[in-house]
Amino acid sequence: MNKQKIINEVAKTVKRNLKNEGSGHDWWHVYRVWKMAKHIGKKESVNMFIVELAALLHDIADWKFHSGDDTIGPKKAKQFLIKYKVSKDIIDHVCNIIATMSFKGAGVKTEMKTIEGKVVQDADRLDAIGAVGIGRAFAYGGYENRPMYDPNKKFAIHQSKEEYFKSKISTIHHFYEKLLFLKEHMNTKTAREIAQGRHKFIELFLERFFQEWEGKI
C-alpha cells in the first residue's frame, strides 16, 4: 500500500470514528488540523507522511475523554498504523508526537522534540484560537455542562496536568487558563505569524463579551 493510499484510508477511518463527536474534537477539527499541518509543513523540512498521519490520528482517543489517560491515544493510533503495515520507526514517531501534543496546563512544559511534532502541535493549537477556537471553546463547555461564565470564580494558571484536568470552570475561564497562552507556545515561524491575528480576535471578543455582560453596550 503506498503512502497516499494509507493516508486516505486513515482519514476515512478517523472520519467514521469521530462522526458523532460533539465537543469540538470532531472530524472537522481533525480535518482543519490536517490541512493546517500540511500548510505549515511545506515551509519546514519535514517528513510529510509522518506529519499527515500524526495530524489525522492526534485526537483519535483524547485523554480528556478517557479519565486523563494520556496513553490511550498513542495506543489506538498504533493499532491503526499496524493494520496498514506502516513501518515501526514511523509508528513510534507518530505515537510519540500524539503522546506529547496536548496542552496540560499553562505552567506545564510539554516540549516537542521533532520538527514533525512541532508542525502538528502548532496546527492543533491554531485551531484552538481565533473564530473557530472561540466556537470550539463553547462547544466543549456545553458538552461538559459548564456555565458560559461565572464572575464569582477566579482565573487560574495550572501547574500540573492533574490540576488542569480537574479544573471544571466556565468557558470564559478556559480562555484564561489556556487559549490566551497559546500564541506564546507556537513552535514555528509560520504558526507564530498566523497566531497573532487569531489571538487578537480572541482579545477583541473578550473585550466585547465583558462589556455586554455588564450591560454597557
pLDDT tens track for 79-126: 989 999 999 999 999 999 999 988 765 555 777 999 999 999 999 999
Q: Inform me whether the pLDDT recorded for 214 exceeds 60.
A: yes
Please state which of the ranges 14-23, 79-88, 176-185 shows the lowest mean pLDDT. 14-23
Residue partners of 185: CB distance under 8 A and separation at least 6 = 103, 125
Q: For residue range 29-54, what is the model confidence (pLDDT) as tens digits?
A: 999 999 999 999 999 989 999 999 99
Q: Which of 59, 70, 73, 198 is nearest to 128 (CA)?
A: 198
Confidence band, pLDDT 50/70/90 cuts, at residue 213: very high
Residue partners of 214: CB distance under 8 A and separation at least 6 = none
pLDDT of res. 105: 53
Q: For residue range 65-80, what is the model confidence (pLDDT) as tens digits?
A: 555 567 888 999 999 8
CATH number of 3-213: 1.10.3210.50
Cβ(94)–Cβ(50) below 8 Å = yes
Annotated domain spans of the chain: 3-213
Cβ(210)–Cβ(188) below 8 Å = no
pLDDT of res. 35: 98
Residue partners of 181: CB distance under 8 A and separation at least 6 = 106
What does 137-162 look like in DSSP terms, one character per residue? HHHHHHHTT--S--TTSPP---SSHH
Q: Which of 11, 26, 192, 12 is nearest to 119 (CA)?
A: 192
Q: Which residue has the higher pLDDT, 184 or 159?
A: 184
